[in-house]
Structure 1
Amino acid sequence: MEAQGSRGAPAYQRIAAAYRSKIASGELRAGDQLPTEHAIADEFAVARQTVRTGLSLLVTEGLIVARRPRGYFVRQREHMVYRPQERSRPRPAVPEMDRFSQQIADEGRVPSQRIEVSLVQATPDLAERLGVAAGATIVARRRVRFINGEPTNINDSHFPLELVKDSEIMSPAYIPRGSDQVLTDLGHGQDRAIDEIFIRMPTPDEIHRLGLGPGTPVAVHYDTGYTAGGRPVRCTVNILPGDRHKIVFERRWSET
């Protein structure tokens, strides 16, 4: 059955609309295999190339995946619940675990991460948030986080060079006490943070680091930490693929 509103559209769009509708209705569930290209071609009385063009739209939308030579399958989505407010809460009691690792392990999944540290020139967005000149040298502590071996998000923290140049932050090793505590021990404890979230398409670097498929948007979460005196000492940029995350904010009402 063709999806409502698709009549009169090119055949490849009608094929995409039909299977998009089946997925939305639950007729096809995560992990289910679609009919073969040959079967779909017979159903719609079209050439197999037309079928491939139609199904490629669903691949681009992140609804199905191609697993050649087996065929096409409805994409399985196991979202990470991302809570921006968690950063202000205490770290786990186990030194080997940060908040991300603890959350994923508690869900029965396997967390891991890859850490790189480098000196980079501050792009205009980072320069503005860190209060440095555009092009100034800053420290980038870059992380890709994985769940069950699959890249899930990017967590890149940036610091003014003069604040952290002789600290553990310069090492690509995991820091059990956390970079926030390192800043505090250096005399730059954070008193508050500003969170900003934007939605956009990913950059080529982000596509490469996260292995993103075509057409996958990302949420960009800037988390900038300030001292009590108002000096910005850290800007963390989190890149959250839209097909892998659910962003949750929790608010509590105070009694009046």
Structure 2
Amino acid sequence: MTEQPEVESIWPVQDQIAAYLRDGILNGDFQPGEPLPSSRKLTERFGAAAQTIKNAMGILEKEGLIYTRRGAGIYAREHRQRTMTPAEYKTPPTDGGKYQWIAAAERKGLAGRSELLEVEEVVPPHLVREAFGLGEGATAILRRQVMFLNDEPCELVEVYFPLDLGQGTPIAERRRIKGGAGRVLAEAGLPPLRCVDKVAARWPTPHQQQALKMPTKLPVLRQFRVTYSTGDRPIQAEFMIKAGHLYELEYEF
């Protein structure tokens, strides 16, 4: 792994060590089964005490990134972070089949599924009201669900729909929709024609941390998407909160 110049950090040393090793494992600089730098080398690099190094290893072990061979050292484990391509998932399946996200996961040898948590009429957050052109106190329909990869929660999805599009349709009902809500809108003459994504890294809220069962203090990717249809009408706005240790996004231009 290419050594980076020493810099000042406001993080505790154990978090610095964990971040350094995590980055190497996720980037492939430490291959699965490859030994990690020795305690002596980490001490030289970070000026860390033995207990501090042990604490850092405890963080990475909780994240499933390392394992220990008694008397032989600590080794990198094959990481679970997967590359997903959001541009492939905006169009609902034409046959009313699986979510494209789940189908794509299966093509990568993963078991993908979703669990519906809530369907309710709510006053949406500012970004959603702005996208829909709603005033203060106006409401929208919210569908909240958790996505799983191999039975591990990886993404919390909160999708908002304008009331006039969702009321009286399966979108407003607390049940799974075959083919997804996008199919309902497409069949009503409102297919997804354009999406705008904003992606940012954030610390998870307590609710997000619990829903995703975050193993340690890790960031999440917050992807905010507005989908537009005929006449450039916004038909849905969604927050996709992705567990940072399980996801990376790929965009091609």
TM-score bracket relative to the smaller structure: 0.7 to 0.9
Q: Which moved more, 1:51-60 or 1:161-170?
A: 51-60
CA displacement at 1:154 relative to structure 2: 1.9
Structure 1: 5+ residue stretches without partners: 7-11, 252-256
Show CA shifts across 1:100-136 (max 9, x none).
Answer: 1111112222111111312222111211122212432
Change beyond 3 A, Cα 1:14–1:198: closer
Aligned ranges for residues 245-256 of structure 1 at < 5 Å?
245-251=247-253
State how many pairs are aligned. 235
1:24 matched to 2:24 = yes
Hey, what does 1:184 align to over in structure 2?
186
Aligned equivalents of 2:225, 2:209: Cα separation in 1: 21
Hey, what does 2:80 align to over in structure 1?
78
CA displacement at 1:232 relative to structure 2: 1.5
Amino acid aligned to 1:169: I
Amino acid aligned to 1:166: G
Q: Which has the larger radius of gyration?
A: 1
3-state DSSP of counterpart to 2:137: coil
Aligned ranges for residues 81-160 of structure 1 at < 5 Å?
81-89=83-91, 91=93, 93=95, 95-116=96-117, 117-160=119-162
3-state DSSP of counterpart to 2:135: coil
Show CA shifts across 1:14-38 (max 9, x none).
Answer: 897499569838896547898xxxx
Hey, what does 1:242 align to over in structure 2?
244
Normalised to the residue count of structure 1, the TM-score between the two structures is 0.72
3-state DSSP of counterpart to 1:220: strand
Change beyond 3 A, Cα 1:205–1:66: farther
3-state DSSP of counterpart to 1:223: strand
Show CA shifts across 1:64-84 (max 9, x none).
Answer: 5799xxxx8755422232212
Contact 1:65 1:74 in 2 (8 A): yes
CA displacement at 1:56 relative to structure 2: 5.1
Show CA shifts across 1:136-162 (max 9, x none).
Answer: 221111111101110111222111123
CA displacement at 1:187 relative to structure 2: 4.3
Hey, what does 2:206 align to over in structure 1?
204
3-state DSSP of counterpart to 1:229: helix
CA displacement at 1:184 relative to structure 2: 2.9
Contact 1:113 1:146 in 2 (8 A): yes
Normalised to the residue count of structure 2, the TM-score between the two structures is 0.73
Contact 1:220 1:240 in 2 (8 A): yes
CA displacement at 1:52 relative to structure 2: 4.3
Aligned equivalents of 1:208, 1:91: Cα separation in 2: 31
CA displacement at 1:192 relative to structure 2: 2.2
Aligned equivalents of 2:55, 2:90: Cα separation in 1: 47
Change beyond 3 A, Cα 1:146–1:33: farther
Q: Which moved more, 1:73-82 or 1:114-123?
A: 73-82
Structure 2: 5+ residue stretches without partners: 7-11, 69-73
Contact 1:23 1:29 in 2 (8 A): no
Show CA shifts across 1:207-242 (max 9, x none).
Answer: 111011333112211221223223322002111222
CA displacement at 1:53 relative to structure 2: 4.0
